[in-house]
Amino acid sequence: MSFYGPIAIVDVSPENARPFSQNIANLLGVRCHPISLNKFGDGETNILIDKSVRGEDVYIFQSYQPPIGERMYELELAVSAAKSGGVARRITAVLPYCFGMRGERQTKPRQSLPIDVVIKNLSRMKVQSAITVGLHEDSISTMFGLLDIKLEHLMFEPLAAAYMIDTARRAGYSEFIIASPDIGGMKRAGRVRDHVALNSNLRTRLVAGDKYRTGLDQVEIAAFTAPLHGQPIIFYDDIGGTLGTIDDAVKLAKKEGAKEAYVVLIHPVLADGFQPKLEKLCGDSFVREILFSNTIPLKGLASIDPKIKTLPLEPLVAATIRNMNRDESMSNMHKYEAICELYKPFGLFSQPSYVLIGAPMSASQVSAEGGNGAKLVSVPQTVARSS
């Protein structure tokens, strides 16, 4: 039963990101509300929600794509349209990649705090809750709470563990290494290892790279915290920016005798300069597969190379929205078994590779309880991307 009124999906993302919200709407058995995004001659933006949201539970989607400042402004305008003009009952910002999350603390005097600015802006706009995936630091959840925004932080680690278990079984591994490219990611990698240990009989070791920064987007990795002993290694990190960190880590793992490598990255930010690094990784037979989630649409080589796979998040986010709307417990959104159960209707974690394909299905093709709206199918050796 709906607790906050009917669900309304509003997406102000660029067109290439809108299949994400459309597939979620299909899984929920609702339609996305149409919007008009117009620009005046001087570039000023105006947003109109073309359907009433009065008394509805509104979920506003925005994708992390440049120009980032403009994307954030569009989100604020959509909140204004839903709140002041639309009289929505509740507004939730759905940010698959949380804007500003790499700036959660000051490391130098007179340095800005981007996440603080983002949260304060959302609070000032009277956003009551937010949904995001794979925060850079867990402390960000507390920052949202301090300004009375209920944050549903969906951790990627259960899905990463399911992928690693499936990958190990397909490859015939009985043991493998889970590696964080740097010490700062050890807690994140440790959570994956815990899920693997609790849900399989696979043996794993945890290692980290000794990373130091040579510039704003440049790092070098000097060594790993433990020997690799000729074992397969699966790297796990949250942000794939220029891919310099992962490239260095893979190069060092190969040098130190790892058997072969897999790479799992939550957010395909793919910042300027990523293409040469990705070409190098994809062209190296030592790297067997690279997995991204679809918090951000893939681009360039990442959208066409068969070595790159995508793990779609729509089933998890759709279930989260349904529970929020019904004011039900969110604990299952953090449990390995419950999350894997969400993906069972699509056969995930039992075939060679998985992608979200095809045009978004119409609402009439799914039941009000979700059904099989966004179709997940096995496509071995095929481009992994959202269409």
Per residue in 65-114, pLDDT (tens digit) is 999 999 999 999 999 999 987 799 999 999 999 999 987 777 788 889 99
pLDDT in tens, 112-132: 999 999 999 999 999 999 999
Cα dihedral across residues 229, 233, 236, 239: positive or negative: positive
Q: Which of 280, 272, 220 is nearest to 242 (CA)?
A: 272
E strand intervals along the chain: 7-11, 32-33, 35-39, 45-49, 57-61, 90-95, 129-133, 150-154, 175-180, 203-213, 219-224, 233-239, 261-267, 287-293, 308-311, 354-356, 376-378
Question: What residue spans in the chain does CATH classification 3.40.50.2020 cover?
Answer: 7-154+313-346+362-370, 157-311
User: What is the distance between the alpha carbons of residues 221 and 184, in angstroms, rounded to a whole number?
Assistant: 13
Kindly give, in sequence order, each residue whose CB lies less than 8 Å from that of residue 385, ignoring residues fewer than 6 positions away: 297, 298, 303, 304, 310, 355
What's the token pair of residue 85?
């003009």
pLDDT band of 26, cuts 50, 70, 90: very high
User: What is the distance between the alpha carbons of residues 148 and 128, in angstroms, rounded to a whole number?
Assistant: 7
Q: Which H or E run contains 19?
A: helix 18-28
Residue 222 phi, psi dihedral angles, 5° rounding: -90, -35
pLDDT given at position 103: 77
Between CA 67 and CA 49, with CA 127 as vertex, the angle to 5 degrees is: 65
Kindly give, in sequence order, each residue whose CB lies less than 8 Å from that of residue 387, ignoring residues fewer than 6 positions away: 19, 356, 357, 358, 359
Q: Which residue has the tokens 């000794």?
A: 210
pLDDT given at position 213: 66
pLDDT mean across residues, the chain? 88
pLDDT given at position 142: 94
CATH for 7-154+313-346+362-370 (3.90.480.20, 3.30.70.100, 3.40.50.2020, 3.50.50.60): 3.40.50.2020
pLDDT given at position 345: 86
What's the token pair of residue 268?
């395909």
CA distances from 217 to 86, 238, 270, 293 (A): 42, 15, 12, 22
pLDDT given at position 86: 78
HSE-CB at 80 with a 13 A cutoff on CA atoms is 12
pLDDT given at position 375: 43
Residue 172 has pLDDT above 70, yes or no: yes
pLDDT in tens, 128-144: 999 999 999 999 999 99
Strand partners, 265: 237, 292
Residue 246 has pLDDT above 90, yes or no: yes
pLDDT band of 367, cuts 50, 70, 90: very low
pLDDT given at position 351: 42
Strand partners, 324: none
- Percentage of the chain lying above the pLDDT 70 cut: 87
Checking phi first, is residue 229 left (phi over 0); if not, alpha (psi -120 to 50) or beta? left
pLDDT given at position 355: 42
Q: Looking at the domain that runs over 157-311, which CATH code has it been given? A: 3.40.50.2020
HSE-CB at 303 with a 13 A cutoff on CA atoms is 11
Residue 291 has pLDDT above 60, yes or no: yes
pLDDT band of 359, cuts 50, 70, 90: very low
Residue 236 phi, psi dihedral angles, 5° rounding: -135, 125
